[in-house]
Structure 1
Amino acid sequence: MKGKKDSNVIAQNRKARHDYTILETVEAGIVLTGTEIKSIRAGRINLKDGFATIRQGEAYLHNVHIGHYEQGNQFNHDPLRARKLLMKKRQIHQLIGETKKQGVTLIPLRVYIKNGFAKVLIGVAKGKKQYDKREDLKRKAINREVERALKSR
């Protein structure tokens, strides 16, 4: 994702990088209904409790809340339904191998629009312990102080 503009990012899971160590990222498409894509473009999506699973050779996104579309009628979607992810077979097999390891999970990091299609960036993540989180905060504070000192020179 380096070099990309963040203008097309619809939603980010900011808590993910705090709670998990991201080992690898994979881009995937999402199978959506008409009202879901309209809600996503309106920014009515929440990735906070989301996770991905792999069942029978297919990847699914769970617990990602996409709010109801305002102008939708009786054909509106279920906000918390499991959504299929579009990935190549080779990528899915690689993720199966990664998730077999102890303590590794798949979490959505961000949702964005690319060439008119909704994409999700899935992170292969390992949970952090409390002391790891504190150490990261200390490291960020030290780096911030160094940047301030260099800037004031």
Structure 2
Amino acid sequence: MAKKTENKTLAENKKARHDYFIEEAMEAGIALVGTEVKSIRSGKANLRDSYADVINGEVFIKNMHVSHYENGNQFNTDPLRVRKLLLHKVQIEKLASFTSQKGFTLVPLSLYLKDTKVKVNLGVVRGKKDYDKRDAMLEKDAKRDMDRQIKERMR
């Protein structure tokens, strides 16, 4: 019997979708300690203001806040520690080539469970200007108004 894979989102970086154009996204594993996994599973992770860097052929995620596990002991770690992302060499080289270009950066978009493993959806992003953000908000408002009118007509 085949395994059923269901992805459960544990944390999402909603600000990233507002502040950046997402050029490409890829899945990466993350090196965690046991108490961090328990804390993330209970929803105590925050991806706001976090980013990733390629350093010496390895990718590290920085500023990702994982709160202390309530039932933990001396094995609790620093909430803002630098965590290593687990990727293949070809993927790391691809990310390094993107980030070497001006204006591109790596931002974690979401944390989720895949089977029993915690995974990160890592995006290669380009920053939006203020007018781009306003345009996106206007489009979103217009779509909401159209949906509302269609719903009223259906009654």
| Number of residues of Structure 1 aligned to a counterpart in Structure 2 | 149
Measure the CA separation in 2 of the matches of 1:139 and 1:5. 32
- CA shift, 1:17, in A, is 0.7
Contact 2:6 2:115 in 1 (8 A): no
- The correspondence of residues 56-95 of structure 1 with structure 2, limited to 5 A, is 56-95=56-95
TM-score, length basis structure 2: 0.92
Measure the CA separation in 1 of the matches of 2:6 and 2:74. 36
User: SS of the residue aligned with 1:147?
Assistant: helix
- CA shift, 1:149, in A, is 2.5
Q: Is 2:27 the counterpart of 1:19?
A: no
Cα RMSD after superposing both structures: 1.3
Measure the CA separation in 2 of the matches of 1:145 and 1:74. 53
- CA shift, 1:150, in A, is 2.6
Matching residue of 2:99: 99
User: SS of the residue aligned with 1:71?
Assistant: coil
What amino acid sits opposite 1:139 in the alignment?
E
The gaps in structure 2 that reach 5 residues or longer are none
Measure the CA separation in 1 of the matches of 2:75 and 2:148. 53
What amino acid sits opposite 1:103 in the alignment?
G
The gaps in structure 1 that reach 5 residues or longer are none
Matching residue of 1:118: 118
Matching residue of 2:30: 30
Contact 2:106 2:123 in 1 (8 A): yes
Measure the CA separation in 1 of the matches of 2:74 and 2:97. 41
- CA shift, 1:5, in A, is 6.2
Measure the CA separation in 2 of the matches of 1:60 and 1:38. 21
Matching residue of 1:53: 53
